[in-house]
Amino acid sequence: MNRLLIRLILFIALFVWCVGFSYNSLFPNSAYTIIASPFLKKLYGTVCHQHIEKTFLFNKHYFYVCARCTGIYSGALVVSFISIFSLPRLPEKMTLLYFSAIPMLIDVLSTTTGIYSYSKIIALLTGIFFGSTAFAYILAAIENNFADKSL
Amino acid sequence: MNRNKLLPSLVCGFGAAVLTTVPGVKNFACCLIVPVAAVISISLDHKINRSEFPIKAKQAILFGIMTGVFAALFSTFFDALTTYLVHTNDFIEALPQTEDFIKQYKLDYLLNQTMTIFNQMASDIRANGFSAFYSFGILMSNLFVDIIFGMIGGLAGMSFFNKHTTKI
């Protein structure tokens, strides 16, 4: 499969996913939003705790995922968009991936143990850092196995 | 896939489903539960069936899908069981609020039909503790999400184990 096609598919999939968790906020005055709300809440509830106090409020509606998940998916979406045009080759070792998870883990442990109180902005930023790196590795894994080697 | 090949996915899928229902666990793991379960299922398969390295992408994705399917099935079962026991759930509790919002809009036929279905599901759950339509909807959404995240976990596990073959 063509590398560009793989990257386009992943970008579209991530775009739909991100629109889904922010659907309420993006289309606040639509009756379809209210109808879809219980299903979307349940759908995203599979992958997120959805605590209101840890979730962004936009257009008087909460996202269906927490600030950290918003960061992870947004980071992945941004990198997936950039990857359509160019993406630097990642190192073979997974050190960068582990390194990108460290700020997120420190934040989770620090807020849980009460070293400092939860901040949506910090959760978002650590999520973006991890999400963008993780996406690059996942893309590399997919392309190494499915993309045409000649391209 | 023989029974021994299914066992790691079954065990890890069950584990993931249990963890998603335990209050508080999601605070730590969020979307990582199913992908991690897929990674562990690949590791278990290697230990039980002495599978060879390097792991092929097709095999890794298959393990991800199977772990996702089992996680979705068990999650739906736990959800249905809890609903059956207490005769209510998040959907029932949010329904009056949804109806209040709906009254603000002039609904077309399709939306009216949707609300009728919502109300039917709610009355089934209140009366019997179970709604086939609701459970089917939950199963579909669980399958959709868990399979995708399972596949991601499978691919991540493949990359990880293929790079650390000598350490296992």
Pick from B43-52, B68-77, B136-145: least confident: B43-52
Helical spans, DSSP H, in chain A:
3-21, 23-26, 31-45, 67-85, 95-113, 120-146
- Residues 120-159 of chain B with CB under 8 A from chain A are 137-138, 141-142, 144-146, 149, 152, 155-156, 158-159
* B110: nearest CA partner in chain A: A32
Domain extent listing, chain B: 3-79+132-167, 88-128
Which pLDDT band holds residue A102 (cuts at 50, 70, 90)? very high
Nearest chain A residue to B140, by CA: A43
B14 touches B39 (CB < 8 A): no
What local confidence, expressed as pLDDT, does residue A150 receive?
Answer: 46
Burial degree of B95 (CB within 10 A; 0-12, 13-18, 19+): middle
Dist CA A108 CA A102 (whole Å):
10
- Reported ipTM: 0.76
pLDDT in tens, A103-116: 999 998 999 888 99
**Nearest CB to A49; choose among B26, B142, B160:** B26
Tokens standing for residue B161? 């184990």
Burial A55-83 (b: 16+ CB within 10 A, else e): bbeeeebbbbbbbbbbbbbbbbbbbbebb
